[in-house]
Amino acid sequence: MKIGVFDSGVGGLTVLKALTKAYPHVDFVYLGDTARVPYGDKSAQTVIRYSLECAEFLMGEGIDLLVVACNTASSYALDVLKEILTIPVFGVLEPGVKRALQTTKNKRVGVIGTRATINSNSYKKLLETNGVEVFQKACPLFVPMVEEGILDGDIAKGVVAHYLKDIKDKNIDTLILGCTHYPLLKPIIEDFMGEGVNVVDSAECTAMEVASYIVGGGTSTLNLYFTDRSPGLDFLIELILEKPVDYQLLTLPCKV
């Protein structure tokens, strides 16, 4: 079996990592659209077009299941992809929301993410439909901090405290990490929020969501593709996947 994963950049590698850990005998193809990142400042129509181009390439690689490892693409393009494609399609929003609904006891849930994700209110709408009070916070410095490899220490702890101090005072018992970069900061986020708050990693939740669709096995291949060799790409691949992995460059849209 072969699973395709795409993201606007490298953050989706956290989802890929969770998937490869959960299903070590499945083949994976990852596409990071680093030439056009971020998707968060694009219109919905553009995000849908980019997502369709990513999906077209991955379909050409013979995938059996698609994971949209991008919060923005999951918000705007997931329904279109599900309608057009003939294979199962999963995003990263609903698995995280489902886990939050299962864990919250007081129906007070926090959501952190990029400005685009928070402004879209995608998590908020899904949670409020289920009677949950939602407290959101955009954390724009988290992504560049992760991409600089600043995952611990005084700087990281100070930035986490700066953004999360208000949410911490809201008596939430669950916090959703609404960006694929944020799992790398999970240990210090958990430490700051305290034992009474369950931190939901959407990457892990998404990996569990596809469990019933996994059939047979594969040769455990992993193919990475990116649309631009952006500065720090090799460093981030090794940081997230915990090992260097070869990759290929391509241009979208492309003939497959």
In the set 54, 70, 139, 205, the catalytic residue is 70
CA atoms of 48 and 33, how far apart (whole Å): 13
179 an active-site residue? yes
70 an active-site residue? yes
Contact between 207 and 22 (Cβ < 8 Å): yes
Pairs from 91-95 (Cβ < 8 Å, separation ≥ 24): 91/67, 91/206, 92/15, 92/67, 92/68, 92/180, 92/202, 92/203, 92/205, 92/206, 93/122, 93/123, 93/126, 93/202, 94/126, 94/209, 95/202, 95/205, 95/206, 95/208, 95/209
User: Residue 227 corresponds to which tokens in the numbers above?
Assistant: 């649309």
In the set 54, 139, 179, 205, the catalytic residue is 179
Residues recognised as catalytic: 70, 179
